[in-house]
Structures are given as C-alpha cells and as structure tokens.
Amino acid sequence: MAVSSQIVESMKNSSWIRKMFEAGAELAAKYGAENVFDFTLGNPNIEPPAEFEQILIDYIKSPAKGKYGYMANAGYLDVRQKVADYVGSIEKVKIPAKNVIMSCGAAGGMNSVLKTILNPGDNVVVSAPFFAEYTAYAANHGGKLIAVPCKDDLDLNLEGLEKAIDKHTTAMIINSPNNPSGRVYPQATINKLAELLRRKSVENSRAIYLISDEPYKKIIFDGNTVPGTFAAYENSIISTSFSKDLSIPGQRIGYVVVSPKAEDVGLLIDGIVLCTRVLGYVNAPAVMQKVVAEMLGKSVDISFYEKKRNRICEILGNIGYEFVKPEGAFYLFPKAPGGDDLKAVDTLQKENVLVVPGRGFGAPGYFRIAFCVADSVIEGSAKGFERAYKALTK
C-alpha cells in the first residue's frame, strides 16, 4: 500500500469539524448561504486590530535588511525577550529569554514539545472533551493519548486522571479556556492537579510535564481570569498562539515557554529548538515574530464574542437545551437531547443548522457550537434549534 496504515486509519476517522464544514458548503450551494446556519469552524470572525496592520505595514516598509531571512531556530532574541518579560509578568515568575521558542502556532509548538519528550510507548493524558488533533499530535511522535472524561460541570476529574496516570505517562495537556466547552479551570483545580502530578512523578521516578495549551487565554468573559501554571507546578510548559486573540490564524505564529524550574530545563529547551528544525518548521515566520512582539497583551474586542455567547445561550436556554455556560473561548457545548450526539447533529442538519458531534472531541452525548459567526447566523438558527429539540424530545 502506498499510504501508511496509520494515515489510512486517520483518514477514516478524520476530523468531524471538517466533515460538518464540508456538509455546510454542500447545503449552502443547494439552499443558499443565507439559509444555512454553520457553527462548525472555530475561525475568528473579527478582523485583527487596526494597530496590528499598521505595525505590519511599518515593519515591511522599514529599511531593516534581512527581515525575510533565517534567524536562530528558536526565533529572534529580542522577540523572545519581550515574550519572556510578558509571560513572566502574567505567571509571576522571572523567565529568561532562552526559555522561549517562537513557533508556527500552538500546534507547531506542541508537536515540537511532544517530539522532544516522548519515547515510543509513552502516553499523554488529557481531559475529555479535548481538541481532537491532540490524538494525532501524540501519535506523530510514538505516543498515545489517554482521555479521561471530565466532571458533570466540565471541570477536571482528578480522581479519573489519577487512575489514568501510570509509569508510561510523560505529560498531561490542559486547555483553558477549553475547546470545545469554554470551561476555565479554577485555581483550586490547577493546584490540586499540580499536587497530583508532583506525587505521581515521584511514584513513577520520572517527571510528568504539564503542557498548557493557551490560544484562548485572553478570550474570557464575566471578569474571569485564567490561572497560570508556572507558579503552581514546576514542570510546566506553555504552548500558545496569536491565532484567536488577534484573529490571525492563517499567519501561524505562536510560542512555547518552558518553566525555569522544569526538570532538565536546559536539555528540554535545546530539544524543543532542535525539533522545531527537524520537524520542518525551521523557524517561526520572521515578519510575524516582529509584529506580534509589539502586540503582547493586546487582543480583539472580547465583548464582541461575549455578546454572541449571551445570545446563543439565551436562545438555547429558552428552548430547553442543557449546557454549562462557557466562561471563555467562543464555543458552547450543550448536551444532545436524548443523549445521542450523532442523531442530534443529523436532526439539526435537516434544519440547515450545522454543529459538530461531541464524539469528535472525545465526549459523545454532546455537540459543539462555534459562535464566532455573524449575528444573522445566530438569529437565523433559532427556529431550527427549536424544531430539532422538539423532534429529539418527543
């Protein structure tokens, strides 16, 4: 066979998000885009801040030489210093510039980290629901993803996580605010998780790294804050991007930061830098590094998403759907009426409402709504959500 068996299997189980997105395109062609209400793709629908574009224009027009060339694989040192200072101020920890590796988005950063720490047969623990690509990220580097169902309130199930961690566990990934649930894990949960990982690291005689995937960290509502991990747990690594908070997902720019207290910190950093190169990323996009260095701490207007969250929650709540109100990101994760997420998704699709089944995120029985869409999509979907609910609960 010309294609590896692993890839053939992956294609069979390809992303539910993309499947539903493609179904939406077919419906739009058939009924008209204005009559299809597509909540499948987490693609920001706000333009980047005007300041971002002005910084980009000014840098491109600047007389600096070599601005489109290679630099050190870890990125420009001045950019890494600015990121280190910014993250250090948030995490309340002094971070050297060398602990920052600029990456091709959070995904590129996470793959470089997992390539560095995984041996064949190792596993990575995650709380379900989780971003579906984590499974592939672990498998890319000889690892296996172990998913543990969350609690009913969508918080981490610490008892379940403890049972899942064994001598083969190398890391745990957390994503807060969570995609697809919008849950922000509270400080008390992070502190208890740190205690658990610390104890298990001693029991298993190996460091268990906590990888915090943070692309939605600035997209938070109701005055919530996202607890840091560095102060709570020494073996922490942050992987994040500017894709969501600056609305530049196509630019593929982010960074990895390694806690200065991490075990074998120097070796770990050197490994991530090497893997950035050998995985083919080589270095993060040169121009974008310089631009985002001037945008640290800034974001699009988050109230834009908060209003959309409030409206979609109002619509579904009035109909009778059950859900935990998201505290961040731009997703809602309701329970599927009747408990069958595939049936719910199919019923909604017949109403020209496109959502993604929860099993695509390791959580059957739920479905995901990406509300980063035009207000007209949210308003236009109301009757379809209502008819589907009645059909599923009669």
Residue with the two structure tokens 């299809």: 36
Shared domain check, 92 and 229: yes
Rounded (10°) angle between helices 303-319 and 375-393: 20
CA 338 → CA 62, 121, 314, 355, distances in Å? 60, 38, 21, 16
How many domains, in total, are found in the chain? 2
Shared domain check, 179 and 78: yes
Domain boundary among 292, 311, 341: 292
**Token duo for residue 90:** 């948030």
Shared domain check, 331 and 184: no
Domain boundary among 292, 323, 340: 292
CATH code of the domain in which 145 resides: 3.40.640.10
Shared domain check, 317 and 250: no
Shared domain check, 152 and 182: yes
Shared domain check, 127 and 146: yes
3-state percent breakdown (helix, strand, coil) of the chain, nearest 5 = 45, 15, 40
Shared domain check, 318 and 305: yes
Shared domain check, 29 and 139: no
For the beta carbon of residue 350, count every other beta carbon within 10 angstroms: 11
CATH code of the domain in which 329 resides: 3.90.1150.10
Shared domain check, 197 and 281: yes
Shared domain check, 349 and 259: no
Shared domain check, 305 and 254: no
Shared domain check, 340 and 279: no
Q: Domain span at residue 143?
A: 51-292
pTM confidence score: 0.95
Domain boundary among 253, 268, 292: 292
Could you list the pLDDT tens digit for every one of the 394 residues in the chain? 678 877 777 766 567 777 777 877 787 777 787 889 999 999 999 999 999 999 999 999 999 899 999 999 999 999 999 999 999 999 999 999 999 999 999 999 999 999 999 999 999 999 999 999 999 999 999 999 999 999 999 999 999 999 999 999 999 999 999 999 999 999 999 999 999 999 999 999 999 999 999 999 999 999 999 999 999 999 999 999 999 999 999 999 999 999 999 999 999 999 999 999 999 999 999 999 999 999 999 999 999 999 999 999 999 999 999 999 999 999 999 999 999 999 999 999 999 999 999 999 999 999 999 999 999 999 999 999 999 999 999 8
